[in-house]
Amino acid sequence: ATAQYRAKLTSVRELLVRRHFPQDQRKRVLRYYNYIWTRQGGVDEAAILDELPGPLRQRVAQHIIGDALTAIDFFGDLDHSIIKAIVSVLVPRVFVPDDVVMAAGEIGSSMYLIERGVVKIFSPNYRITYSVLSSGGYFGESCLLRQKLRACNIKCVTYCDCFELTKREFYETMKSFPEAKDQILSAISRTLKFKVEENRRVTQNLGNQNKLQNFLKINKVFDVILSLGTDSHAKSYKITVGSVFPFCSDKFTDMVMLDLTRMMDPESKERHMWTLLMLLVTMYNVLAIPFRIVWMPGPTSYFADWCLDLIYLIDINLNMYVFGFLTEGALQTDPDIIKEHYKKTRWGTDVFSWIPFEALIGLAVLCGMKMGEDNMHLPLALGVSRFPKVVRAPQILPYLRTLVKVIEENSNFSMTGIYLAQLLP
């Protein structure tokens, strides 16, 4: 299954390159496929449900979304047979971050139930956020009343698994339950009146926007940083920059922090450049360490190696505090989540590979020199002490796979990259 997924992904990527899709659109398409794979194992849930016979499809849909449907005010008091009938016509939909599911001014034709994910409800000009909905929430029910224009914009914050109920399917289903239909429409009307009043109050409370904007004015550099997350991002970046450049000025630190925000995205140019650097450093260690053990050069030849160890130290800090990662197609940028994820995955091996065992060897040698012992074994001891760096060797293939994708997406000779990507495990 994994091989089939990679083959499909490389085919999609080649199509996007051949059709000259913009870079941001390529990212959205590829992240969608990544989400479908990690969340659903590459399975098209809508297609699977369509293949099931009616009664079985109904039971599966009831298990997935039935409780969320009955939790809605205007569906909660309905007979179980009516709920089953409505559930049977729900269709799974997947939306990606920043998708505008509904736009103000368009004619509504569907309502949605959120199985998983987060959406925001905005005013028509996007200046006011009326509400934030998550799992179990619903929106778009006004379309079931009559043909009218949408009053709000609804935009996905994360990947969203939803179930769609179209106006056509609703009325077709409710032909068998006319009394229940009137009951539902009356309840929807009351719900909409409450929401309109609630939105009016939100607008009124935020009427004095000039004072609010003055209150929220901050430094331009931190505007960029905070736009990507919470205040904890800035704190984490300060920790990272301070630990790597402890004697630098605040101006230099802020400039570095601005670059770090770009490195949060695993598909950014800055992140790819760092991946290339880590690939070169890791390959250097893998090749140089056996050479040093065999030929046993003197201690002065290790100066370049010790400089590269500083890059490993910086890499540990970046992975701990800065580098976001994709999970179920969504980019995780929360510092606490990044830190926890790194500790559970690579932190132990990365720290072990960085520990300067040469320092321990040096102390032992100095003690030996004071005692008048021969230092003929020093070159061999130094070479062996570098061997823990090889534990990073398994990261070479992921580094290569990432760089192959970059070449593939930005080169006219992308087919070579595709074939190579399929060979990499």
Question: Which of 143, 142, 139 minimizes the C-alpha distance to 155?
Answer: 139
- Identify the residue with better confidence: 8 or 409: 8
Give the model's pLDDT for residue 219: 41
Per-residue model confidence as pLDDT tens digits over 123-140: 899 888 888 898 889 999
Report pLDDT for 230.
42
Report, as an integer, the average pLDDT of 264-284.
88
Tell me: pLDDT of 243 over 70: no
* pLDDT number for residue 60: 72
Work out the angle between the directed axes of helices 335-345 and 303-321 (0-180°, nearest 10).
130
Confidence of residue 340 (pLDDT cuts 50, 70, 90): very high
Q: Give the integer Cα–Cα distance in Å for 395 and 368.
A: 37
Tens of pLDDT along 70-87?
888 888 888 888 888 888
Q: Which of 30-34, 212-216, 387-391 has the highest mean pLDDT?
A: 387-391
pLDDT score recorded for residue 112? 94
In the block, tokens 């709000």 appear at: 152
Which domains can be identified in the chain, with CATH numbers?
Answer: 91-205 (2.60.120.10), 224-423 (no CATH)
Residue that the structure tokens 């050479």 belong to: 291
pLDDT in tens, 12-60: 878 887 788 887 788 788 778 777 777 766 566 666 666 667 677 667 7
When the pLDDT of each residue in the chain is averaged and rounded to a whole number, the result is 76
State pLDDT tens for residues 162-212: 999 999 999 999 999 988 898 899 988 888 888 888 878 777 776 655 444
Lowest mean pLDDT among 32-41, 233-242, 294-303: 233-242
At 101, give phi and psi (nearest 5°): -70, -40
Model pTM score: 0.56
